[in-house]
A and B are shown apart, each in its own frame.
Chain A
């Protein structure tokens, strides 16, 4: 535990850094909500979507998962302080992520 008042994350002072992450999370959430609205409207895939109608669904899924992972990374790395934790604890934190990927990939109905 660091007790010094000048605790920083990546050179930025704590409180400022927290607010930056907060803004990033907020922005990413807005983008996330925007994606399905663009990809498919109230009655299935939209005609005038900015995405190609055929690929809109796959593309939106990939984008959404990427955004979700970016957001979870922000929370885990900065809010859960993995940034200044020793490698072993980072490893413990990564374990469930790795194993749940194993599980989900293995569950795919091949």
Chain B
């Protein structure tokens, strides 16, 4: 029942097609766009970090010195959480493909909790950085804080959107609207979630470690 209703939502595939649902193509092409938005921010960060213009005489602090060993390790732990939530997402999809909707639902719940955990740690970190580190006068280079908040903030927005997206998936599974027949919806949500994870891997490397 629900499957036919969902199929009516989208026009059918043509005779010549890529053989994937429209949503998957739509998500991949959307991710191209989203990745390029991050590319704009990351490339801007790179250029400011390379140090030209008015900021050339103000040295860029080593992230390791600013965040401290504990700060880096906390964020590494955060990365670990995001990777774990990616794993729970693929498990959710695998379960949904096999028709174990109850298992899929639990894995999705784990994914949501992982995302919320990530946001919580990031919120804690931001609070700490704003109150104690960035604006106490030790850091002369204003772009250090600016690019940091820009990149992690923009990524954080994506995580927040992803959590909401996954929550919708979770509710859909609970009410039975998402089932084995349209598990591709879970796969598409997964694409977005893994992309957020993928971007975090890059942001973590470039902002915290290099």
A residues touching B (Cβ–Cβ < 8 Å)? 1-3, 5, 7, 14-15, 18-19, 21-22, 25-26, 29-30, 32-33, 35-37, 40-44, 60-61, 64-65, 67-68, 71-72, 75-76, 79-81, 85-86, 88-89, 92-93, 95-97, 99-100, 103-104, 107-109
By the criterion CB–CB under 8 Å, are A99 and B209 in contact?
Answer: no
Among B72, B94, B206, contact of A33 (Cβ-Cβ < 8 Å) = B72
Query: At the interface, yes or no: B73 with Cβ under 8 Å from chain A?
Result: yes
Q: Please give the distance in Å from B94's CB to the nearest CB on chain A.
A: 5
What's the dominant secondary structure at chain B's contact region? helix
Q: Please give the distance in Å from A16's CB to the nearest CB on chain B.
A: 11
Q: Find the B residue at minimum CB distance from A15.
A: B94
By the criterion CB–CB under 8 Å, are B84 and A22 in contact?
Answer: yes
By the criterion CB–CB under 8 Å, are A79 and B194 in contact?
Answer: yes
Q: A5 to chain B: which residues have CB within 8 Å?
A: 97-98
B residues touching A (Cβ–Cβ < 8 Å)? 18-21, 24-25, 28-29, 31-32, 35-36, 38-40, 42-44, 46-47, 50-52, 62-65, 68-69, 72-73, 76, 79-80, 83-84, 86-87, 89-91, 94, 97-98, 180, 183-184, 187, 190-191, 194-195, 197-198, 201-202, 204-206, 209-210
By the criterion CB–CB under 8 Å, are A75 and B32 in contact?
Answer: no
Q: B191 to chain A: which residues have CB within 8 Å?
A: 80
Q: Find the A residue at minimum CB distance from B56.
A: A109
Given the known inter-chain contacts A19-B87, A36-B64, please indicate yes or no for A104 contacting B35, CB distance below 8 A. Answer: no
Number of A-B contacts (CB under 8 A): 146
By the criterion CB–CB under 8 Å, are B69 and A3 in contact?
Answer: no
By the criterion CB–CB under 8 Å, are B47 and A107 in contact?
Answer: yes
Name the residue in B21, B72, B91, B201 with the highest tally of chain A Cβ atoms < 10 Å from its Cβ. B201
In the bound assembly, the distance between CA atoms of A41 and B64 in angstroms comes to 7
Among B64, B80, B87, B184, contact of A37 (Cβ-Cβ < 8 Å) = B64
Given the known inter-chain contacts A89-B18, A107-B47, please indicate yes or no for A40 contacting B62, CB distance below 8 A. Answer: yes
Q: Please give the distance in Å from A29's CB to the nearest CB on chain B.
A: 6
Q: A26 to chain B: which residues have CB within 8 Å?
A: 80, 83
A-B contact pairs, 18 of them (CB 8 A): A19-B87, A21-B87, A26-B80, A33-B76, A37-B64, A44-B62, A67-B205, A68-B204, A68-B206, A79-B87, A80-B191, A89-B25, A93-B31, A96-B36, A99-B39, A100-B38, A100-B43, A104-B43
By the criterion CB–CB under 8 Å, are B190 and A96 in contact?
Answer: no
